[in-house]
Amino acid sequence: MSQHPTYLLDRAKIEGAHTLAVAQKHGAYEALRKILKEGITYAQVIQVVKDSGLRGRGGAGFPTGMKWSFMPDPAKDPRPRYLAVNADESEPGTCKDRVLMEQDPHGFIEGCLVAAYAIRAQAVYIYVRGEYRHPYNRVFQALAEARKAGLVGKRILGSDFDCEVWMHKGAGAYICGEETGLMESLEGKRGHPRPKPPFPAMFGLWGQPTTVNNVETVFNAPFIVNRGAAWFQSMGTKTSTGNLLVGVSGHVNRPGVYELPFGVSCREIVEDVCGGVWKGKRLKGFFPGGSSTGVLPASFLDTKLEHDAIKATGSMLGTAAMIVMDEDTCMVRAHEIIARFYEHESCGQCSQCREGTQWLHQIFRRIENGEGRHEDIDMLVTLSQGMAPGKTICALSDAAAIPTLAVVKHFRSEFQEHVEKGACPHLPAGTRRPVLAGHGAAH
Amino acid sequence: MTKITINGRSIEADPTKPLIHACHANGAEVPMYCYHPGLSPVGSCRICQVEVQQGTGPARVVVACRTPVAEGMVVNTEAPKAHETRRECLEFLLKNHPLDCPICDKAGECDLQDYAFAENQGEGRTHEPRRKLDKRKSLGDVIVLDEERCILCSRCVRFMEEVPKTPQLTVSDLGSRSTISTFMDRPLSGNYQGNLADVCPVGALTLKQFRFQARVWNLKKSLSTCGECSRGCAITVEVLRGQDVKRFRPRYNASVNQWWMCDTGRFSSARHNATERIVAARRTSRGLEVAGLEEALAAAAALLSGAPAPLIVASPFTTQEEAKELLALAKVLGAAAHFVLPAPSGLKDALLNTGEPAPNRRGLAELGFAPLSPAEARAKLAGARCAVLAGERVLELLGREELARSASPKVVTFDTHALEGAAAEACIGIPEQVEKTGTWINIDGHAGKLHVARPAPKGVGPLTRSLQALTRLLQPSSAPAR
């Protein structure tokens, strides 16, 4: 195993860290205590997070300190303000927030409170993915303990800081992980993303100033408050600081969630951390950060896992959920499955996304089933270009288009092989894969 | 007002309205599906993409319906990138559209059809099977939904929420499985359902009453005013082959009805297709007999000339122009002018319907006509020797049966139909509201114009002219009638 300094999962590895007693013995709520006892101001918390270079861990990588500073000055805007924490972790491949919520719920709650303090929010809403029953229960129990201990609610630790934390369970829609879809869902409406502007900092939950942060993002905040910006910057790269949780899934010997600094190479993750591609096979390609970041072929394995380097390859870091595929993987089949996911999860507001995700799925399915035509390959490209970038209300359309563009770019020959052979070359001759159930789509 | 530039022209735009409004007001054609000027903008169909450049920033392609106008903004609606984005969006909208325009009632006034033709997208690239959904889902007595044609713009959902404020429709399910539906498939209710067919940009929501009735390009459209209540909504009357009134549709009028009208008014169009109409009749020894207009007018003059103070009762549908001629007649006869004010319809609501089925009540009152309830009018008639009953539906409102029962007073009627019974001395036919020009004054004092949408039956002249002729016959020193 590689030797990198760690902090995110240190406490999570301790037996019983989900209980308040054990968590507090190992440093939980120290940052909150420090802020409230030493009288650290809101502005100072934002400043130290800005200085640390912390970037959002939800996929877009937006600087967190800057996002917090977008919240209007309470002296000029006395409206109530909220923090919404996005725990609707549903990007295919991503499973990092789950580990934090299950293993270190108090660390997570402390993160919520520090972030709420920085943006002067009087309430935190944690939107948990509906399928995450165990993480939900863990955080729920931890919250009850923390509330009892005076760490959540009115006059936290005897100070004049009031902050209530509420939890909400999603009902299984990917789109509710989009920040405005999440807010609509929290308000009790259909999870239809809202057009921006207005941005959440001005018009968020119930029309009030709101910041939406990822679980891992707020989880980082107490460490930065405790140990300082310089310590945080000592890890990672210049533009992507700190450690991040890398969730590796797919054809590796040791899949899992690993804490690594930004800037380690993808090769180190696959070959060293995860023990190499399984069954002694060779690597064909990998998604660097979840299914909506474009696939990269094995030749990109030396790319450093950080925002700028991955961006230079034409892909995105996303949630750093690496999906590794071995040499026997059918890229068309893999993307048929992904396209089906996006068709199923499109909210249906924007024309491009509603119709385009279905169209892409249909074309992938035809090619995979040997019914593709050569024109279909270029259709995938032109349709994807019509869906992205930035042509729709939210980024789901982009999320369906980007992997399509990437796979045609890097693996065009596989598509041609499917078309020419009239069948999937990865299947024994004469056999067909079972057709995936399409949801309401015409077959 | 905000100064902006649209396609090279400097213009002043209303800062309270989104950019698409300024584009349309200045002749820049930007297509729209989800946007409707009377509803909140959601920016979901994504068709109204235009290129906008502000300050020193780069030109961006944005949806015009969600973009506020800002001082100095430079807009290019035909920029290649904007145009290309719209074209792509259109292709997606047509992907599952059934393209059954030949059997679609909306064809000819369909925004999707128009833009597809403008963009020359007669043929699609898709080889996939199109969505199979319910082609005729009843949403109540008024509306039928074709789910396949629906482009999910959500105008209908927002209309129900925002205009009559009776939310009943929603988009159910997600993504490509989305459909418009009501809760538990309950039928729609309310008096404003007909507007759903108007706001629908495609042929998804159509009127049961208008289904397969006419191709819209065969309809002759005339500007008019609805007569079902004293709101007087601005409408177009649409007539097929110069004969059948096929539909009434609301017409934008900022100070009266905006874009809407109620179903009571909308479906009153059916009343104007009655076949039997009278031209003129007079009483002879054999009873009421068809006669020429001159003969009928002469009979009327003979009745009225010697009579002491005959009664004049007008219909609330009487136009200002007709009412003035009635006043002239009243002056010659030394008679008092009244009009029938029917009982409230019970349809009064907070939006448009005033519940007062008398389109020119205010105008008639301002001219000095005294309102009478049908019962009061009948009581007054019972005490009179003779009377003039004038205006569309006056006999119906007074009660045909009650009038037919007694032989007194002797009456001269100006209505679309004759009065059965012994009382009528002369019956003179008049045009219906869709067959004449004129003015009604609505409840707020706005003048609503009527125009000829369909010719009156042969031989039926305007009421104003018949009244003038009668007045001339009754004037003591009148010149011989021309």
What is A2-59 written as a DSSP string?
------TTTGGGSTTTTSHHHHHHTTTTHHHHHHHHHT--HHHHHHHHHHHT-B-SSS
| Chain centre to alpha carbon of residue B164 | 18
- Diameter over CA atoms, chain B: 92
pLDDT more than 90, % of chain A: 94
Q: Is the pLDDT of residue A305 over 90?
A: yes
The answer to whether residues A74 and A183 belong to one domain is yes
By the 8 A CB rule, do B438 and B452 touch? no
The answer to whether residues A133 and A210 belong to one domain is yes
By the 8 A CB rule, do A217 and A223 touch? no
Q: Is the pLDDT of residue B260 over 70?
A: yes
Give the residue on A whose Cα is nearest the Cα of B130: A442
State whether B174 and A362 contact (CB < 8 Å).
no
- Please report the pLDDT score of residue A434 as a whole number: 73
Alpha-carbon gap: B258 to the closest alpha carbon of chain A (Å): 27
Reported as a single tens digit per residue, the pLDDT across B39-62 is: 999 999 999 999 999 999 999 999
The pLDDT-based confidence of A440 (bands split at 50, 70, 90) is very low
State whether B176 and A352 contact (CB < 8 Å).
no
Give the residue on A whose Cα is nearest the Cα of B60: A390
Mutation test of the interface with chain B: which of A194, A343, A351, A443, choosing the one with the most B Cβ atoms within 10 A?
A351
Reported as a single tens digit per residue, the pLDDT across A56-99 is: 999 999 999 999 999 999 999 999 999 999 999 999 999 999 99
Interchain contact A380–B (C-beta under 8 A): no
Contacts of B152 in chain A (CB under 8 A): 348-349, 354
Q: Which CATH number belongs to the domain containing residue A392 in this structure?
A: 1.20.1440.230
Q: Which of B49, B126, B176 lies closest to A354 in CB terms? A: B176
- The two tokens of residue A322 are 């690496």
Mutation test of the interface with chain A: which of B92, B96, B171, B183, choosing the one with the most A Cβ atoms within 10 A?
B92
Residue B340 backbone dihedrals phi, psi, to 5 degrees: -85, 130
Q: Which of A352, A356, A442 lies closest to B131 in CB terms? A: A442
Q: Of A307, A326, A345, which residue is a domain's last? A: A326
By the 8 A CB rule, do A294 and A285 touch? no
Q: Of A269, A304, A326, which residue is a domain's last? A: A326
The answer to whether residues A64 and A25 belong to one domain is yes
The answer to whether residues A260 and A351 belong to one domain is no
By the 8 A CB rule, do B176 and A346 touch? yes
The amino acid occupying position A21 is A
**CA B211, B217, B221, B226: dihedral to nearest 10 degrees?**
20
Alpha-carbon gap: B6 to the closest alpha carbon of chain A (Å): 21
Residue B352: exposed, middle, or buried by beta-carbon count in 10 A (0-12, 13-18, 19+)? buried
The pLDDT-based confidence of B380 (bands split at 50, 70, 90) is very high
Whole-structure pTM over 0.90, yes or no?
A: yes
The answer to whether residues A154 and A302 belong to one domain is no
By the 8 A CB rule, do A211 and A115 touch? yes
**CA A100, A104, A107, A112: dihedral to nearest 10 degrees?**
50
SS3 content of chain B, % helix, strand, coil (to 5): 30, 20, 50
Interchain contact A184–B (C-beta under 8 A): no
ipTM for the assembly: 0.92
State whether B177 and A385 contact (CB < 8 Å).
no
Contacts of A443 in chain B (CB under 8 A): 129
State whether B128 and A363 contact (CB < 8 Å).
yes
| Chain centre to alpha carbon of residue A99 | 13
State whether A345 and B175 contact (CB < 8 Å).
yes
The pLDDT-based confidence of B479 (bands split at 50, 70, 90) is low
The answer to whether residues A101 and A216 belong to one domain is yes
Residue A442 belongs to a domain: no
Q: Which long-range contacts (CB under 8 A, 24 or more apart) does A300-304 make?
A: A300/A266, A301/A265, A301/A266, A301/A267, A301/A270, A302/A265, A302/A266, A302/A267, A303/A265, A303/A266, A304/A237, A304/A262, A304/A263, A304/A264, A304/A265, A304/A266
Give the residue on B whose Cα is nearest the Cα of A172: B174
Q: Is the pLDDT of residue A441 over 50?
A: no
Q: Is the pLDDT of residue A438 over 60?
A: no
Domains of chain B: 2-94 (3.10.20.740), 280-438+452-474 (3.40.50.740)
Mean pLDDT, to the nearest integer, of B370-375? 96
Residue A312: exposed, middle, or buried by beta-carbon count in 10 A (0-12, 13-18, 19+)? exposed
Residue A440 belongs to a domain: no
Mutation test of the interface with chain A: which of B65, B94, B171, B174, choosing the one with the most A Cβ atoms within 10 A?
B174
- Please report the pLDDT score of residue B50 as a whole number: 97
| Pairwise CA distance, residues B398 & B400, whole Å | 6
The answer to whether residues A290 and A350 belong to one domain is no
Q: What is the number of structural domains in chain A?
A: 3
- Please report the pLDDT score of residue B478 as a whole number: 52
Mean pLDDT, to the nearest integer, of A253-270? 96
Residue A408 belongs to a domain: yes
Alpha-carbon gap: A369 to the closest alpha carbon of chain B (Å): 14
Q: Which of A348, A385, A443 lies closest to B176 in CB terms? A: A348
Q: Which CATH number belongs to the domain containing residue A16 in this structure?
A: 3.40.50.11540
Taken as a whole, chain A contains a residue count of 443
Q: Which of B47, B171, B176 lies closest to A441 in CB terms? A: B176
- The two tokens of residue A326 are 């071995």
A-to-B residue pairs, Cβ atoms closer than 8 angstroms: 102
Q: Is the pLDDT of residue B466 over 70?
A: yes
Interchain contact A437–B (C-beta under 8 A): no
A261-293: burial string, b at 16+ Cβ within 10 Å, e else: bbbbbbbbbbbebbebbeeeeebbbbbbbbbbb
Question: How are strands ordered across the β-sheet holding A321-326?
Answer: A256-261, A243-250, A321-326, A283-287, A296-297
pLDDT more than 90, % of chain B: 89
Interchain contact A393–B (C-beta under 8 A): yes
Q: Of A172, A202, A230, which residue is a domain's last? A: A230
| Chain centre to alpha carbon of residue B379 | 35
Alpha-carbon gap: B460 to the closest alpha carbon of chain A (Å): 54
| Pairwise CA distance, residues A266 & A260, whole Å | 11
Q: Which of B46, B95, B175 lies closest to A348 in CB terms? A: B175
Residue with tokens 């003979």: B302
The answer to whether residues A44 and A186 belong to one domain is yes
Reported as a single tens digit per residue, the pLDDT across A7-42 is: 999 999 999 999 999 999 999 999 999 999 999 999
State whether A442 and B132 contact (CB < 8 Å).
yes
State whether B91 and A363 contact (CB < 8 Å).
no
Residue A301 belongs to a domain: yes
Mean pLDDT of chain B: 94
Interchain contact A345–B (C-beta under 8 A): yes
| Pairwise CA distance, residues B123 & B97, whole Å | 12
Strand partners, A415: none
State whether A348 and B178 contact (CB < 8 Å).
yes
Contacts of B132 in chain A (CB under 8 A): 442
The answer to whether residues A167 and A294 belong to one domain is no
- Please report the pLDDT score of residue A177 as a whole number: 95
The secondary structure element, H or E, covering residue B303 is helix B293-305
Interchain contact A299–B (C-beta under 8 A): no
Reported as a single tens digit per residue, the pLDDT across B431-443 is: 999 999 999 999 9
Question: How are strands ordered across the β-sheet holding B137-138?
Answer: B137-138, B143-145, B205-207
Contacts of A362 in chain B (CB under 8 A): 128
Instruction: Tally Cβ neighbours within 10 Å of residue A207.
Output: 13
Contacts of A349 in chain B (CB under 8 A): 42, 44, 152, 154
Query: Nearest Cα to B411, choosing from B380, B457, B454, B366?
Result: B380
State whether B46 and A352 contact (CB < 8 Å).
yes
Contacts of B85 in chain A (CB under 8 A): 386, 391
Q: Is the pLDDT of residue B180 over 50?
A: yes
C-alpha torsion sign, points A121, A125, A127, A128: positive
Reported as a single tens digit per residue, the pLDDT across B77-111 is: 999 999 999 999 999 999 999 999 999 999 999 99
Q: Is the pLDDT of residue B115 over 80?
A: yes
Q: Is the pLDDT of residue B482 over 70?
A: no
- Would strands B74-76 and B179-182 be described as parallel, antiparallel, or unpaired? unpaired
The secondary structure element, H or E, covering residue A117 is helix A105-119
Residue A4 belongs to a domain: no
State whether A391 and B85 contact (CB < 8 Å).
yes
3-state DSSP assignment of residue B239: strand
Strand partners, B68: B18
Residue A3 belongs to a domain: no
Mean pLDDT of chain A: 95
Query: Nearest Cα to B343, choosing from B361, B367, B319, B328?
Result: B361
Give the residue on A whose Cα is nearest the Cα of B170: A190
| Pairwise CA distance, residues B226 & B248, whole Å | 8
The answer to whether residues A40 and A79 belong to one domain is yes
The pLDDT-based confidence of A436 (bands split at 50, 70, 90) is low
The answer to whether residues A144 and A163 belong to one domain is yes
Residue A319 belongs to a domain: yes
Residue range(s) defining the domain that contains residue A363: 331-421
Contacts of B47 in chain A (CB under 8 A): 351
Higher pLDDT, B24 or B121: B24
Q: Is the pLDDT of residue B476 over 80?
A: no
The answer to whether residues A103 and A157 belong to one domain is yes
Contacts of B224 (CB under 8 A, 6+ apart): B235, B236, B237, B248, B433, B434, B449, B450, B451, B453
Contacts of A387 in chain B (CB under 8 A): 92
The pLDDT-based confidence of A409 (bands split at 50, 70, 90) is very high
